[in-house]
Structure 1
């Protein structure tokens, strides 16, 4: 081999040295940003694992210090270097900065919320301190620990009596009390770990602490908070409790999600898309002989359910149908291992109260009644998961939806896992419902109604969830809306609203399904529709890019070089799908 050949020198034939250097610099910068994202992801997990009491001031302070340090590093370390980054590195840098700044904002909100929790949690301070001493394996006097437990039990008992007698009802909001009850239960779990760490291993600890620990209990206090302030009776544990976040918080979340629309504009999009769905529902209803009364046609489709024992087999049949459809048309790359290894699990009755439909990702979780349920609940769940309804749900959850996403997320650009957003995760899966609709996948009126039901459902999610967080709808009104406008069974509507407001979903999560799908759909027109990429390459590039707001996906696919002060600007909605 010639000593100075282009292959050995690492430069193209005749390529100037400064061009090769700039390319090397861009590659180095790309790796620096990726490594910083990986470091921050791992560090935050370690900090969360160590400072594991969510309402601890120590936790909030340490996380705040860490994010401030990293934000300073992100800005200072890349001064003068941003202009040398390629499009993908700029996207990573912008997303990392946005993630850190939103994290700081959320910590400030959590700190402010501590004041509201104080009337119900002030007595827990010394207990939190015990748990934090254990985390550091710092020495303490067992006699003092026994006194802390004994004093805390007295204070908890006194607080229980105050609340039972009507105290604090006017000074603590329903949702604050709801959060406080969970916080007390969380603390008790940490205390159990604390006690188990020392008991029996330290004779003095056992001598001083065993008796007060046996008398220590939080059940009465938690039950009283939930019953007297939250308004959840002992036999009504499924009550829906939620706290509107407000318009300003939603605007901050929209900025982090790189969405250039206001909450009011988003609700208008949901209403326009719903109107399109309703028109299509009427067409399918007429084809079935029900005229314009699409709710009667929907009743017909709901009753196309299978026997209880047959639901898992039907799901596998529908999954195979979807994979065959997209692979025959060469729409996206489906690796063999991905297609072979998805698994199926049945949801418990308790899970179905929150998730009345399927869930998916690494595996699919099937919602279908168990023998112990009431006759009415059995029918509602079966009707809510009929064959035409399930046909869309299965490919949404498996392939080409979430299971395919998870396969690629585990293998490509893993550093972007921290940028996870429902606009990419849920938007991608629902986008396939739109694309397969265009392709004629729902080849019967019943299957069209099945797909339209879910489409209406996504529209309704935008409308009820954002209106709730703007303070314009109550949970009860949200349930009524789903029953009236989408045709939900009441049990599934309750589960949907409970899932939206009682869990860990962000205020924009439910809107992310349709909005993310509409973004991908618009981007498809811009790239595939104009012949810049094949359909398969377009889909593969999105999957290999991993998680991020869709405006950033667009920047990467188009090679757009965003400035370091980039703000959301893509106005992707061009009117209803039809």
Structure 2
């Protein structure tokens, strides 16, 4: 682990090994009395909004791959904001203000840890790439961003020199003198692509606007642009064993047990990864029992045979949007008729439906929802086998459970409120909240006799519930290093009954998409948190169900344990630590 007392850029400099890689800036000076220029009495909601925009601006300006200056500046930002927050009048805040304080403190601490982790991984990438040319290119891009006085002759000489370094790195990779683990190699290709895009922007800034500069770099720039792309393709082919057009192989970046524990602390989940895997397995066993009951009602001896029966109940090509529309209306009408939550008219009125492209279905084989619903279904361009798998994976009964998860009362309703009530809390987006809410409704509607369910409907609901159980198990075991990506695919096929193509898409989305390591576990675990809290507040204290749901919608985004503090009036301190063992309260 990196010494946290050192500036983050030091990790990168140590991997550079060149004079050009050294920073010209001095290490950050740590002044324990340092404060931001903003008043200590700054309202906490305004402080969060300011931090959000300041960080967005700084990341946009400084976050250049392999930039020591950028890492130093972002580290200083997190350090300064955390020090300033210590002087905030926590005891003077109301309960919402105290929750906001804890949200911001948690966010800043996690951001600093994430920055340190990125610096350590980038150091490994730098060592793999030889260290010299990435840092030099980063400095050239930084100089352009600061509108430094350009010198075309010097830039042309630098690009020509760096071409030689890139060529040497490529040769060493080809001859296998430079090697890296698959996660580091994949990260290298990603960072090379970012560096190439930023260098393209660097070139476009000067091209033709500065004729003399353009004259000097017109020959070396296209060559180095090609060389960067070629190096990335070489790493993919030699180190990762992929062709440049390969979009099917799944390569992720396991974070290890320490990384999972850090992420759980940020999400305020007081369980170990092993305990959460045990919860996933227990919930799966419950689902399997219920699945067998439904299968028996349909005359099948085993639930897998009943699942095959359900999968083949899909609508003909061209009819899926009409099915989705009808199911959306059914779910919305149910929530309003039974007075379960406040549904604003504009929320209901403005649901939009789109179709997902065949390419996007490789990453998202099922529906996506939120502001709109994006429907996965086969197109005429797909192979016969892929068409059948897509139709079976998006059959009528699976779709019925998906639509209320994605639209009303799930994501669409939630996101409508998020944009309008305490919108600054969207900065604290967490899967345990946003996905937990949508999955909570899967549990709640299962329990409600008034939500009519045929045996096939119940199998459709249970399929998704088993899917959430499997997500806990495979995602945590993958990040613990206990399962490969292919073993995760096999688990989804064998445990849940996924079509192989949809299982591959699910794992690809989980480990290669823009999701945190706990995102997939957050669906069921967040839902279980809300389910346990509802049991206490609604069933135990007699609070109206609609009031409980509206309180959640008006709270916006936060770890569910802090929502629990809001609705219970729990005393909070500035050094609040997670401790809620929610699963024990369900009494499963």
2:506 to 496, 500, 503: 496
Paired residue for 1:422?
431
RCO higher in structure (CA 8 A, sep ≥6):
1
Question: 2:468, 2:521 within 8 Å by CA — same for their partners in 1?
Answer: yes
Paired residue for 2:184?
176
Structure 2 residue 293 is the aligned partner of structure 1 residue 283:
yes
Structure 2 residue 102 is the aligned partner of structure 1 residue 94:
yes
Q: Work out the CA distance in 1 between the residues paired with 2:95 and 2:512.
A: 39
1:140-193 CA distance string (max 9 Å, x none):
211111122222222222222221222213xx1111010100111111111111
Structure 2 residue 43 is the aligned partner of structure 1 residue 32:
yes
| Change in CA separation of 1:488 and 1:537 when aligned onto 2, cut-off 3 Å | same
1:202-226 CA distance string (max 9 Å, x none):
0111110111122221222111101
1:160 to 170, 174, 179: 170
| Change in CA separation of 1:55 and 1:322 when aligned onto 2, cut-off 3 Å | farther
| Change in CA separation of 1:473 and 1:324 when aligned onto 2, cut-off 3 Å | same
Paired residue for 2:440?
431
Paired residue for 2:361?
352
TM-aligned CA deviation for residue 40 of structure 1: 0.5
Question: 1:273, 1:576 within 8 Å by CA — same for their partners in 2?
Answer: no
Paired residue for 1:384?
393
Q: Work out the CA distance in 2 between the residues paired with 1:111 and 1:220.
A: 25
| Change in CA separation of 1:47 and 1:61 when aligned onto 2, cut-off 3 Å | same
Q: Work out the CA distance in 2 between the residues paired with 1:370 and 1:51.
A: 42
Structure 2 residue 123 is the aligned partner of structure 1 residue 115:
yes
Question: 1:121, 1:180 within 8 Å by CA — same for their partners in 2?
Answer: no
Question: 1:200, 1:206 within 8 Å by CA — same for their partners in 2?
Answer: yes
Q: Which runs of 5+ in 1 are unaligned?
A: 1-27
Task: Name the SS of the counterpart of 2:218 in structure 1.
Answer: helix
TM-aligned CA deviation for residue 309 of structure 1: 0.8
TM-aligned CA deviation for residue 258 of structure 1: 0.9
TM-aligned CA deviation for residue 121 of structure 1: 6.1
Which deviates the most, 203-212 or 226-235? Answer: 226-235
Task: Name the SS of the counterpart of 2:203 in structure 1.
Answer: helix
| Change in CA separation of 1:520 and 1:121 when aligned onto 2, cut-off 3 Å | farther
Paired residue for 1:534?
544
1:55-86 CA distance string (max 9 Å, x none):
422221111000111000000x22xx322222
Question: 1:272, 1:575 within 8 Å by CA — same for their partners in 2?
Answer: no
Paired residue for 1:301?
310
Q: Which runs of 5+ in 2 are unaligned?
A: 1-38
Task: Name the SS of the counterpart of 2:550 in structure 1.
Answer: helix
TM-aligned CA deviation for residue 577 of structure 1: 7.6
Which deviates the most, 563-572 or 458-467? Answer: 563-572
TM-aligned CA deviation for residue 235 of structure 1: 5.1
Question: 2:71, 2:119 within 8 Å by CA — same for their partners in 1?
Answer: yes
Task: Name the SS of the counterpart of 2:163 in structure 1.
Answer: helix
| Change in CA separation of 1:121 and 1:92 when aligned onto 2, cut-off 3 Å | farther
Q: Work out the CA distance in 1 between the residues paired with 2:568 and 2:384.
A: 55
Question: 2:66, 2:138 within 8 Å by CA — same for their partners in 1?
Answer: no
Q: Work out the CA distance in 1 between the residues paired with 2:371 and 2:471.
A: 24
1:197-346 matches, cutoff 5 A: 197-216=205-224, 217=226, 218-234=228-244, 236-291=246-301, 293-346=302-355
1:130 to 134, 140, 150: 140
Question: 2:531, 2:586 within 8 Å by CA — same for their partners in 1?
Answer: no
Q: Work out the CA distance in 1 between the residues paired with 2:76 and 2:383.
A: 52
Which deviates the most, 120-129 or 495-504? Answer: 120-129
Q: CA RMSD in A?
A: 1.6
Paired residue for 1:63?
74
